[in-house]
A and B are shown apart, each in its own frame.
Chain A
């Protein structure tokens, strides 16, 4: 693995049928940097994250993760994905597995760790995230906040150097949002490189080193959170933030 961490996206294009979702994304994220993606629904935030995790084939451009071009032909996608953790809006836990099995699936089957070792590590991680008592429970017995924390632990269990968070609090009841965001803050403090698509503007302002505003499939404006949230340069950014404020979300 290269010592050069972080993520570089160049000229990324992606369309679904006739709808061009991403129309030339250029983004570079340094190691230990936290970048928040904001923008209206349909602006391409989720698609960008899914492309970076190679869950969607891209039409044009290149993506470099930890110094390796992962969009090059012949790259082992399974190996690449082990180095990138992704957490989804709808948790996507495996309902037929206990919390422990959800977390150990990646380490055991993708990394090839022996069961005992994978379970010991999973228990440590779950304990760190306040889930020690839920180890043997099935996902449907957990609250939404707990499920999403398990999903974060599951993504961390393959020891990724880059985490992609796709609107991870959008499906949660308001009172459960804080516990999940606290976990993400902890990851940021530990220096995890993260790209976070979010509608939680207060959180983005708080945690991001840089905020990118996506509009019409491109990054229309980016900068430090203070600048984006208090003095946005682009009209579209101003309009978007005005709508967010009108909705009482900031």
Chain B
């Protein structure tokens, strides 16, 4: 069988006139599009007011370092929460897959957990934990709102991520477990050495997708009063009667999530290429 000509295939699927011409057409059309949008905005009757309150260069310059420093807290919360979620969600997913009547309580618990925390708004969980838990005045219970914010994020996101894991585990054909068990491996060993490594690899793109959501949801912790990027922007914006700090905060969230999104796309594309090339599962 002759190998399909990739250039020809993409021309049929995407339309176009060859790579170089395509690129210049894309550049010109993007430029024209942006030009039209910008002209529309700056010629709007209220543009001068909006420009003063949202795009104030002086305000931006003054608040940029403050928001940047506060954003480090978002990054820190994101990294800690992510590590905890990866482990905790896996425990939930495995619990939900335990076989037999003996493990019914654990299975039921896992189901109740995912149902509850996927149903309740994240901001509510953070409120209740952040104000409720320290309010108990128990010795040893941390009072730092950041801690409770992270706990809330871990609880909510683990419910989503455990479902992603579960989908991955269930996508592995039962014959893989049969093959592992036939060698004398226990069920736990089959899970650890054969099923989970394949399942996790399959769900990396959807996992990253959830982490993009997590990254921006770290801003929700600001409702507890901790000074993250959003809260810092709040403070400056209230003090200076100007919204530019919010745009600065948005800028920081975007420069983290966009590379993560492109990386996810790249992984998905690579997976698709592999499947098409591999053929045999």
Residues in chain A within 8 A of chain B (CB atoms)? 50, 53, 55, 78-79, 81-82, 84-86, 88, 90, 92-96, 105-106, 109-111, 140, 144, 154-155, 157-158
Contacts and interface: CB of A to CB of B under 8 A. Distances in A.
Of B176, B179, B197, chain A has the most CB atoms within 10 Å of the CB of B179
Of A55, A82, A158, chain B has the most CB atoms within 10 Å of the CB of A55
Given A88-B178, A88-B179, A140-B280, 18 more contacts: A50-B178, A53-B182, A55-B181, A78-B181, A82-B184, A84-B182, A88-B175, A92-B176, A92-B178, A92-B179, A94-B179, A94-B198, A105-B183, A105-B194, A109-B189, A110-B185, A140-B278, A158-B183
Contacts of A92: 175-176, 178-179
A81 B182 contact: yes
A96 B198 contact: yes
B179 A109 contact: no
Nearest to A83: B184
Interface string B167-200: 0000000011011111111100100011001100
A155 B197 CA distance: 21
Contacts, number: 65
A94 B194 contact: yes
Contact of A105 (B178, B185, B279, B280): B185
Interface string B242-281: 0000000000000000000000000000000000001111
A96 B184 contact: no
A143 B118 CA distance: 45
B11 interface: no
8 contacts: A55-B181, A78-B181, A78-B186, A88-B179, A93-B179, A94-B180, A95-B281, A111-B184
Contacts of A84: 182
Given A78-B186, A90-B175, A96-B201, A109 B193 contact: yes
A78 B184 contact: yes
Nearest to A101: B193
A82 B175 contact: no
Contact of A106 (B183, B278, B279, B280): B183
Contacts of A154: 183
A79 B186 CA distance: 9
A-B residue pairs, 4 tightest by C-beta:
A110-B184, A106-B183, A82-B184, A92-B179
Contacts of B175: 88, 90, 92
Contacts of B194: 94, 105
B261 to A, nearest CB: 26
A94 B176 contact: yes
Nearest to A107: B183
A192 to B, nearest CB: 16
B193 A105 contact: yes
A98 B125 CA distance: 45
A93 B173 CA distance: 12
A82 B280 CA distance: 28
Given A88-B175, A92-B175, A92-B176, A81 B181 contact: yes
Contacts of A157: 183
B187 to A, nearest CB: 9
Nearest to B198: A96
A140 B176 CA distance: 15
Given A88-B175, A90-B175, A95 B198 contact: yes
A110 B183 CA distance: 7
A115 B180 CA distance: 18
A227 B189 CA distance: 46
A7 B183 CA distance: 18
B136 to A, nearest CB: 45
A141 B267 CA distance: 21
Contacts of A155: 182-183
Contacts of A109: 183, 185, 189, 193
Contacts of A110: 183-185, 189
Nearest to B200: A96
A56 to B, nearest CB: 10
B196 to A, nearest CB: 10
Contacts of B198: 94-96
A94 B198 CA distance: 9
A13 B194 CA distance: 31
